């Protein structure tokens, strides 16, 4: 299949846009895309979206920016400036609106590792076992998710970009840190890279043969957005060979596959891609945030986890949408997210109960909502840390005042204590 990408300038050429989408909706996409990144491809358009019902289609919502992702005053301001054709004023407004949307959530910039006084700008080392690596050419995706918390890096706000060219520095750093067992390639999407390029990152790591490094992971949305990467792209076979080489070198190779909705699991293309990846000896674990307008129902999550297990994938994390970008549009309050999680997990067998969450990737670590309960007549939210900068805090229950509106850890107040365990 030939890869055809559409951006905000070219999307009106998509036949389904011309046939189904109203002029008002097209204009609103253009206005929302002034602030949020937009890119879609022919697989998503032709195979995943139900165009007859595009307004409520979860995949349409997943990739096409929506008017309501902007606050009403931002929408009005942009619409007026666009109509006036005042480029300079429009540019200024776009920048100001973006900066008001918390473009650096959860102080990611403070986890940048250093070796011999040199900063590894394209890495993050937050938890002692795992290091994230952002290869320079992997900092884009086959299509963009409208809710993505890394949205600023796709908008040309280049100073916000994480990216690294040098794999040698990374190897030195891992060698010097024996607690690191896991190297996670992320982005963007590292599997946007050609096999040749990906190989140029992976081979030196295999060659370095670092005894404490056990697990190599790829954080990727490619199974959902471009499964041909593993089936009929010209270097698909070589990619599968690379996975085999990683496995044969003695590593656990894990795909951290991002699926937002069971619709993404239904095509013949994705089913074939999953089979081929598993044949190499790699494991596929699945993760996604819970989002209004896309997947905020127990039925959807239960269906998704069941289908993933049937395809031999392992449900891993349910996340809470981060406090950035259009959180007001996509965000599900913590209590409601937990109710959906609980109702979904009660419907699946133990094989799908490997999933954890709903979890917030916050500054102190991954904080999961364990449930709502009553202690001595007081209604509270029980929390635990699944990951913590301070590993001693993992798995200790702690409590917050009950709050049905809270959408992030910073909205919560500690119960039975003056502060949270991580404060
Ligand atoms: C989630 C996450 C990881 C991986 O954590 P696991 O629980 O091992 O999957 C690593 N680094 C950061 C910054 C993370 O948010």
Helix axes 195-208, 236-248, angle to 10 degrees: 10
Say which CATH number the domain at 160 has.
3.20.20.70
Ranges in the chain, pLDDT < 50: 159-161
Structure tokens belonging to residue 376? 């001595």
Q: How far is CA 45 from CA 41, 88, 156, in A?
A: 6, 33, 25
- Which pLDDT value is given to residue 160? 43
281, 310, 340: which is the final residue of a domain? 281
CA of 127 to the centre of ligand 1 (A): 7
Query: Do residue 127 and residue 55 come from a single domain?
Result: no
- Which pLDDT value is given to residue 108? 64
- Rounded to two decimals, the pTM is 0.95
> Atom 13 (ligand 1): residue with closest C-alpha?
126
Query: Do residue 122 and residue 33 come from a single domain?
Result: no
Query: Do residue 27 and residue 172 come from a single domain?
Result: no
Domain region containing 19: 5-99
48, 73, 99: which is the final residue of a domain? 99
Our mutation pick for probing the ligand 1 site, out of 387, 391, 409, counting the most ligand atoms within 8 A of Cβ, is 387
Nearest ligand 1 atom, CA 184: 10
Residue 127 CB less than 6 A away from ligand 1: yes
Closest CA to 356 of 337, 332, 372: 337
Alpha helices in 177-297 (DSSP H): 195-208, 222-225, 236-248, 268-279
pLDDT tens string 155-185: 777 544 455 568 889 999 999 999 999 999 9
- Which pLDDT value is given to residue 394? 97
Query: Do residue 17 and residue 60 come from a single domain?
Result: yes
Our mutation pick for probing the ligand 1 site, out of 366, 368, 393, counting the most ligand atoms within 8 A of Cβ, is 366
Structure tokens belonging to residue 415? 């119960």
Structure tokens belonging to residue 374? 């009553």
- Which pLDDT value is given to residue 166? 81
């Amino acid at each position: 299949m030939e890869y055809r990408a559409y951006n905000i300038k070219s999307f009106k050429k998509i036949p389904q846009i011309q046939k189904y989408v109203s002029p008002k909706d097209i204009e609103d996409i253009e206005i929302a895309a002034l602030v949020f990144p937009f890119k879609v491809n022919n697989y998503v358009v032709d195979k995943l979206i139900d165009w007859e019902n595009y307004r409520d289609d979860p995949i349409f919502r997943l990739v096409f920016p929506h008017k309501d992702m902007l606050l009403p005053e931002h929408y009005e301001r942009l619409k007026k400036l666009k109509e006036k054709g005042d480029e300079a004023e429009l540019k200024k407004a776009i920048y100001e609106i973006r900066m008001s949307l918390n473009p650096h959530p959860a102080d990611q910039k403070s986890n940048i590792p250093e070796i011999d006084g040199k900063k590894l700008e394209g890495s993050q080392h937050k938890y002692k076992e795992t290091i994230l690596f952002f290869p320079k050419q992997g900092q884009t995706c086959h299509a963009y998710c409208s809710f993505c918390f890394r949205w600023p890096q796709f908008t040309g706000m280049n100073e916000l970009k994480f990216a690294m060219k040098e794999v040698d520095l990374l190897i030195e750093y891992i060698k010097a840190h024996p607690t690191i067992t896991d190297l996670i390639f992320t982005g963007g999407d590292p599997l946007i890279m050609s096999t040749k390029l990906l190989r140029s990152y992976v081979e030196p790591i295999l060659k370095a043969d670092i005894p404490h490094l056990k697990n190599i992971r790829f954080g990727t949305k490619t199974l959902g957005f471009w499964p041909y990467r593993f089936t009929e792209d010209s270097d698909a076979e070589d990619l599968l060979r690379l996975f085999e080489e990683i496995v044969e070198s003695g590593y656990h190779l894990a795909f951290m596959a991002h699926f937002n909705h069971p619709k993404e699991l239904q095509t013949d293309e994705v089913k074939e891609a999953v089979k081929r990846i598993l044949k190499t000896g790699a494991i596929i674990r699945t993760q996604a945030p819970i989002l209004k307008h896309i997947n905020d129902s127990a039925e959807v999550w239960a269906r998704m986890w069941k289908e993933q297990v049937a395809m031999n994938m392992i449900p891993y994390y349910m996340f809470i949408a981060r406090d950035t970008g259009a959180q007001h549009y996509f965000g599900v309050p913590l209590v409601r997210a937990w109710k959906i999680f609980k109702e979904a997990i009660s419907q699946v067998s133990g094989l799908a109960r490997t999933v954890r969450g709903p979890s917030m990737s916050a500054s102190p670590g991954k904080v999961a909502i364990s449930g709502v309960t009553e202690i001595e007549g007081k209604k509270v939210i029980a929390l635990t840390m699944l990951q913590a900068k301070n590993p001693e805090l993992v798995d200790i229950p702690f409590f917050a005042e009950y709050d049905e509106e809270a959408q992030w850890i910073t909205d919560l107040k500690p119960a039975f204590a003056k502060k949270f365990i991580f404060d």
